[in-house]
Amino acid sequence: MDPSFSSVNGFYTLLNHGLDDLGHSFNTHNFMSIQFLQKVLSSLCYFHSQLTVLVQKLHLPVGEKWLDEYMDESSRLWEACHVLKTGVSSMENYYSSGANIASSFDGLHHFNPQVSRQAIRAIMGCQREIVVLEEENKSLMETRVGQLSLKLDDENIMQESKFNAFNGFRGVLYAMRNVSTLLLMILLSGLVFYWPKSSFCQEGYEGHIIFGSGFMVSLARLQQRVTNEIVHQIGGQPGLMLFEFRKAKTAMEDLKEELEKVVEFESEEFDEQIQEKIECLKNCFGLLRCGVETIVGQIDDLFDEIVEGRKKLLDMCGHR
């Protein structure tokens, strides 16, 4: 941890800077793209690792409730990561099917009605997989995420004396819980499933300042920015919001429409347009596959970070 962030107030500043940095990334990355979600995941992992470092510096009493509270929060993060990995991994069949469809056109330069009908049937099968995938992910969110209390804390802020408990640890944990909640909501909406009645619709927290820290203001700004983008980009409709997923979905529909023209007009004059759509489809599914594999690797890194953090604190308490 940077020396300037090695105190309780410094940790609030670290959160503040990190959240503002995520807000600025909207200007450089497509909303809910792999790159954007990688940045969210990296921030979540970094915040958690720095929380562990801070706890080690606070000289907290052994056997007190603070350790249980830390373990409860890290367990919540662990369970949320399992939901994330399950949802992300479920895309494998979809992008494999899409890639197989794209590669089935290799060597073809002319598209007659018979070939086009076969390709359309394959595409429609893959599109049905999308419906199944989103339904399964929606069910996953309803059954598993509901148990994780992923709701931003808009209750009255605790008394300052409670925040000061355990050398300020309780206030830090409160902050981390809210930040983790928002970041997990973003990740789940992008990688698993989003529905309008999520905590993104809650009111903001501009008035919540902890010991002069503005991290809740930064949290509110990020939350509002995400909400606005959801409405602007997809009209707030439920579904899997990953940019590369939606782009591949659109590319497949575009190819299907071109093939339908061949069937309707029984003409090969659309060959050039179809070849362009095929190349676009290949690129989209290639990017989706690489992106999903990268995200899964990052989730595994976060699992490792959670395990390492718990082990460090348990060892610290055991050696006193």
Report how far residue 61's alpha carbon sits from residue 313's, in angstroms, rounded to the nearest whole number: 12
Phi and psi of 213, rounded to 5°? -85, 140
Query: 310 pLDDT exceeds 70?
Result: yes
pLDDT of residue 164: 55
pLDDT one-digit tens code per residue, 253-279: 999 999 999 998 877 677 889 999 999
Read off the pLDDT of each residue in 156-160 and give the average, rounded to a whole number.
Answer: 47
**Percentage of the chain with pLDDT > 70?**
86
What average pLDDT does the chain have? Answer: 86
Read off the pLDDT of each residue in 79-105 and give the average, rounded to a whole number.
Answer: 92
Query: 304 pLDDT exceeds 60?
Result: yes
3 pLDDT band (50/70/90 cuts)?
Answer: very low
DSSP 194: B
Read off the pLDDT of each residue in 10-35 and give the average, rounded to a whole number.
Answer: 93
Assess contact for 185 and 133: CB atoms under 8 A. Answer: no
pLDDT of residue 45: 96
Read off the pLDDT of each residue in 228-232 and give the average, rounded to a whole number.
Answer: 88
The length of the chain is 320
pLDDT one-digit tens code per residue, 95-150: 999 999 999 888 887 888 998 999 999 999 999 999 999 999 999 998 888 777 67
Residues 6+ apart with CB under 8 A from 86: 140, 192
Report how far residue 116's alpha carbon sits from residue 266's, in angstroms, rounded to the nearest whole number: 10
Judged by average pLDDT, the poorest of 160-169, 265-274, 298-307 is 160-169
pLDDT of residue 7: 84
Phi and psi of 210, rounded to 5°? -110, 115
pLDDT one-digit tens code per residue, 25-52: 998 999 999 999 999 999 999 999 999 9
* Higher per-residue confidence, 34 vs 204: 34
pLDDT of residue 319: 60
pLDDT of residue 160: 46
- Read off the pTM: 0.89
Query: 6 pLDDT exceeds 90?
Result: no
pLDDT of residue 255: 95
305 pLDDT band (50/70/90 cuts)?
Answer: very high
Both structure tokens of 307: 């395990």
Read off the pLDDT of each residue in 4-24 and give the average, rounded to a whole number.
Answer: 86
Residue with tokens 């049905």: 128
